Chains A and B, each alone.
Chain A
């Protein structure tokens, strides 16, 4: 039998864990009391989207019942109130990422739109024929396809950092790929398919030595760890609100002001201009230059509430709690005969992907679902990762701040049911 993959639990995490009251936290998420197929819901698909705490639901309700109005346009009371709440959420997002200036926080639909914005705006302005863009072998399709589109448009080349069998980036290969033709680097902070936490600070430093800007796809990092964009020194950082307990349809693009200023607008319309004549249009200042049209105001305000909620619990405690869950689940799943964990990097967060010998992940997903356990089965929008590991798909368990060890036990029981059905 293969050795249990160990994740160390450091003392500091234990301290953070001590004050963490998961029972109380679960009270904030009424959906967790639901039953599915007559069984208590065990929601382990947080990498796809997280559940929303009442604070977020109530905030949306309050906005629509008492404040609804357009922003930046009205001189009336409601519009001013909505604008204040909207800009207040921007300040919260700035704090969440430790950015230095609210001008560097652009509201977008999600990670996907953030990456497309950078590819189309920065990319088309500054990346030319023969230039090279580096991504990694563990990217989500949303950090592959926008760059492929750009490459087609400008005649640039896509280069891919390979990964080893544990699902870790081969940093020496990255070093080899970096050269004077490299004009952009875009990599995941945490992999959604493998859970790998990438050495992004090192990637930024190495890229900056050649003057190459770096975008970090933080979709799977922002929910699980403290992100400090100034410390990372990344040029762009993207994440989705719905994976951090906020509403769908809203996300953040952080960009260094210097770069955002040099970039042309992504879309044209209202709000992104300062003066329009038919001869010439003057674009608005940051960040409004990138926020054309009426934005997802409720979503923005809801995301602000989600950030408040996460802050109130404390990211250090959340990280520690989820670390412990991941270590526990890894320990419980590894000994199951025929089960192989896909992604065994030293540094992991939030995600546990696995396959069962002789059982397709889709069948695993259906059987455990009937036991009330919600997991994801499929290629996780990362088909190149599946190819790298020679599997068509994996079953993926992903944790959120409200999950418990008892739920992991429920998962293990459900997996035994799978083995029983297909035994």
Chain B
């Protein structure tokens, strides 16, 4: 059995209270909207790409603590990364959230994002945590329309 504090770690509560890069990016050249129909979480991810590198990233939206903190942490961790690196991070995060990551070696690699590892014990919340990453991916691909966790 997992305790509630495993999900709502200090880092997450902090990112929820004061989300980083929580604004509209005026000079964004990529953008995508994400929506989680189950709980109504809504997010817009803005990217400023230069030569395949994420120069700037920001987000706006409303949602639960998990989705907000995850989005905030996502922006902090992909800034300065290349498109390919960000894609790789998406895969790793996805594995972590679904509990497929090696708990030792794998988690260490995740750095600060490891704070979200508790989510895998709360299946109902996995989509909240992955929404911003799905939306990031949609923005990277320049997809039009709504990214969804479904």
Contacts and interface: CB of A to CB of B under 8 A. Distances in A.
A131 B122 CA distance: 48
A360 B63 CA distance: 7
A98 interface: no
A392 B62 contact: yes
A202 B91 CA distance: 58
Which of A359, A362, A417 has the most C-beta atoms of chain B within 10 angstroms of its own C-beta?
A: A362
Which of A359, A360, A361 has the most C-beta atoms of chain B within 10 angstroms of its own C-beta?
A: A360
Interface in B45-86: 62-66, 68
B4 interface: yes
A24 interface: no
A366 B124 CA distance: 9
Dominant secondary structure at the B interface: mixed
A393 B39 contact: yes
Contacts of A359: 65
Interface residues of B, number: 22
Given A363-B65, A367-B4, A392-B63, A386 B40 contact: yes
B38 interface: yes
Given A360-B64, A366-B7, A392 B40 contact: yes
Interface string B1-15: 101110110000100
Contact of B1 (A38, A378, A386, A421): A38
Contacts of B1: 37-38
A377 interface: yes
A399 B39 CA distance: 22
Nearest to B124: A366
A37 B122 CA distance: 12
Interface in A362-396: 362-363, 366-367, 370, 377-379, 383, 386, 392-393
B128 interface: yes
A422 interface: yes
A377 B65 contact: no
Contacts of A370: 3-4
A411 to B, nearest CB: 16
B42 interface: yes
Contacts of B124: 366
Contacts of B137: none
A421 B4 contact: yes
Given A366-B122, A367-B4, A422 B39 contact: no
Contact of B39 (A38, A367, A377, A421): A377
B66 A363 contact: yes
A366 B40 contact: no
Contacts of A367: 4, 8
Contact of A366 (B5, B42, B62, B125): B125
A330 B41 CA distance: 27
19 contacts: A38-B1, A362-B63, A362-B125, A362-B128, A363-B65, A366-B4, A367-B4, A370-B3, A370-B4, A378-B40, A392-B40, A392-B41, A392-B42, A393-B39, A393-B40, A417-B4, A422-B8, A422-B13, A422-B65
In the A-B complex, the 3 residue pairs with the closest CB atoms: A360-B64, A362-B64, A392-B40
Interface of B: 1, 3-5, 7-8, 13, 38-42, 62-66, 68, 122, 124-125, 128
